[in-house]
Amino acid sequence: MAMISDAPALQQPSEPAESAAAPSRMARYARPILGLLLPLALALGWELVVWLGWSNGRLVPPPSRVFATIAELARSGELVRHVIATLWRVGLGFAFGVIAGTMLGAVSGYWSLARRLLDPTVQALRAIPSLAWVPLFILWLGIFETSKVALIAVGVFFPVYLGVMGAILSVDRKIVEVGRTFRLSGPAMIRRILLPAVLPAYVVSLRVGLGLGWMFVVAAELIGASEGLGYLLLDGQQLGKPAQILAAIVIFAILGKLTDWLIEVAAAPFLRWQDAFGRAKGA
């Protein structure tokens, strides 16, 4: 996920300056294109296979049929309805999960007493596969929106909680000492030292959390929904429409990447100081 795709960038923090000038413009566009070659070739190849009649493409529809399905869903207004339903659930669940995860993570990171009280319980709960909550949530919260949002929030909560707590615990003692020598008060220490120090890890945990949010919305919608992209998946399975399933998957991919990118873009101005962020990304 987000963490994995960032890892290579972190390992090459300072690209030598000479490659920054003329070749970089080409590199910036050429490399993503390089990555697109394989999927494009596969898609075109499959399209060709079906077009030549070597396969009927019934179970594995060619890209043109998938996009035709998307276009049709869009024309009928179905697509917007499903996308909005799913986005709304993810957004709400993400918000709740982030708020709870940030608050508890901050408390556990800052006060060791709270950590001793709270963390073992949270870690024990984390060990439960989150889908195991589904029957309970349905019993408690009903089969409508509340249980779905709750499930997504649970998925988002743990990575954010762990990220915030871990980030606070790993703030460099030496830098905290600088704050102490300038006699910062508690709130000033948090605002001027801890928050900025924690921010990079926090952004990563948000991105991981969002990824899990997208995972759990599918689970929630597969279980029982009358709208949403997950419902499109299930509907496609039950009515034997693989093009519709693939269409939903493509839209999931687009939305997931888009929302992840939004977090990255929103955080970028605050992380310009970092050695690795964005700078080495084009490389």
Cα dist from 94 to 14, 66, 156, 215, whole Å = 34, 29, 6, 12
Nearer to other proteins by Cβ, of 75 and 174: the residue is 174
Minimal distance in Å, beta carbon 272 to other proteins? 8
Nearer to other proteins by Cβ, of 241 and 279: the residue is 279
Residues 6+ apart with CB under 8 A from 206: 98, 160, 163, 263, 267
* Distance in angstroms (rounded) separating the CA atoms of residues 157 and 203: 14
Ramachandran region, residue 185 (left: φ > 0; alpha: ψ -120 to 50; beta: rest):
beta
Residues 6+ apart with CB under 8 A from 116: none
Nearest to 66 by CA among 277, 270, 278, 242: 242
Residues within the interface to other proteins (CB under 8 A): 174-175, 177-178, 180-183, 188, 192-193, 196-197, 199, 272-275
Helices 112-126, 145-169: inter-axial angle, 10-degree rounding: 130
Residues 6+ apart with CB under 8 A from 161: 100, 101, 102, 104, 105, 108, 122
Nearer to other proteins by Cβ, of 75 and 173: the residue is 173
Minimal distance in Å, beta carbon 181 to other proteins? 5
Q: Tell how far CA 121 is from the center of its chain.
A: 25
Minimal distance in Å, beta carbon 31 to other proteins? 24
The DSSP code sequence of 111-141 is: -HHHHHHHHHHHHHHHTS-GGGGHHHHHHHH
Minimal distance in Å, beta carbon 20 to other proteins? 14
Give the Cβ contact number of residue 99 at 10 Å. Answer: 14
Minimal distance in Å, beta carbon 9 to other proteins? 15
Minimal distance in Å, beta carbon 28 to other proteins? 22
Minimal distance in Å, beta carbon 188 to other proteins? 8
Nearer to other proteins by Cβ, of 8 and 13: the residue is 13
Nearer to other proteins by Cβ, of 78 and 177: the residue is 177
Nearer to other proteins by Cβ, of 192 and 241: the residue is 192
Nearer to other proteins by Cβ, of 17 and 127: the residue is 17
